[in-house]
Amino acid sequence: MAAVATGTACAGDAGDMFKRGIISRVNKIAANCGVESGQTVAQAAELLKAAPWPHADVEAPAVARTFIDGVLCIDSISQGNAEDAGLVVASGSHGGRSAAPFARSFKPRLVFFNDAGFGPDRSGAASLPILDAEGIAAATVAADSACIGDGQSTLTQGIISAANETAYRLGARVGDAPLNWRARSRRDLSNKEPSNNPPALHPNEEGNNMPQLKNKIAVVTGGTSGIGLATARRFVEEGAHVFIAGRRQAELDKAVAEIGANVTGVKTDISKLDDLDRLYATVAKKGKIDVIFAGAAFVEKAMTPGATPEHFEKTFNTNARGTYFTVQKALPHLNDGASIILVASAGKNKGMPGRSTYSASKAAIRSFARAWTNELKDRKIRTNVISPGAVETPMFNDQYPSHDAAAEARKQITTMTPLNRLGRPEEIAAAALFLASDESSFVAGIDLAVDGGLTAV
């Protein structure tokens, strides 16, 4: 797209515009084809004829992927992929109906579309109610037409023109800058019916949401994806400085870039004691720990007749032994009154085929919490367990040999779950925030099921 400067007498005359017009502004897509300000329309037309893209037989130029303040900026929603699940995304493309399948395919936490030239009351926002029905937050951003095709400009140069109910609950507001959504991030991430009344605020002295973990230090293991990443993000939004521990440096770097500020990544394999020592030595430079979220885990489906010693050892080394020493090594670094949150699983109570070792390792975690609640009572340290049901995370898909197998498992679990769906990482993070904050100051030793009713019936 390009804007053309002409005399007023040329208005409404495409022929005169073509002959006499000078290009005044171009968007990123036009610039990629060589179109520049100052060219005549005729010159630009010749360049576009010669440009190979977007002809069907030629691959389009690579689209830039940049993080700004933790938001992934891409020039087209079609460039999102499975690795971007749970991210906040700013897209240079509009939010018409055709955008919905692309957003559904990788399930961003929140997506901003560029509605320049479309308008919220026209087709440029048609995908918002479609995505809302699937719990995907989406908003359109009114920006200059030259910003179309430029995700960074969508994020930084426009204002929100429309937002679905899910986006509203995350803090997106019409008339506000896209990056301001975090300041209003909501506690309520449920699938409740849309309401005409805004969610209740919990104001501090400035009238903003009260940060529940202001100036706290938290450690989140398994913090590079899924539940751990959502929890780390939520803790930062609530005022904490978070240390995320993960085994893969590339994933750590990506998680840190996504969250943005007040986060430190430390490469850590919790089954290795030296790694845990290095983790806590790094944290000690910042101060004492107020919250531990022990979320690192390993899951591998194996029926008992064919399970190997290696399978058993890896499962218990990570889930039971790793969690045990994650807490033991942290004890000298914990503030009195700290909160320890252990992640178990609803599966420990269900006897699911192929999950005997995994379920047993998670049952051990429940026992740790009972013992530590008693052992650490003199220091007023609270230990609690969260037991999630099936949650839409990379780990859920990774345990199945194929996409079809994962889809079948998802269907079966949905049928077993009274709320008739899988959980979202943000919903587990909301429970973790409750247990990490003073809201749960008289809660100790519990096993909090966040499973859509799976283990209640």
The residues assigned a catalytic role are 358
Q: How many Cα atoms sit within 13 Å of 367 on the Cβ side?
A: 11
Long-range residue pairs from 184-191, CB within 8 A, at least 24 positions apart, any chain: 184/208, 184/209, 185/209, 185/234, 185/237, 187/430, 187/433, 189/424, 189/426, 189/427, 189/430, 190/427, 191/135, 191/421
- Evaluate whether 329 touches 273 at the Cβ level (below 8 Å): yes
Count Cβ atoms below 10 Å from residue 364 Cβ, excluding itself: 18
- Evaluate whether 88 touches 109 at the Cβ level (below 8 Å): yes
Nearest partner of 415 among 457, 449, 387, 450, judged by Cα: 457
* 282, amino acid identity: T
CA distance 393 to 411: 15
Buried residues in 174-210 as b, exposed as e (16+ CB within 10 A):
eebebbebbebbbbebeeeeeeeeeeeeeeeeeeebe
Q: How many Cα atoms sit within 13 Å of 340 on the Cβ side?
A: 33
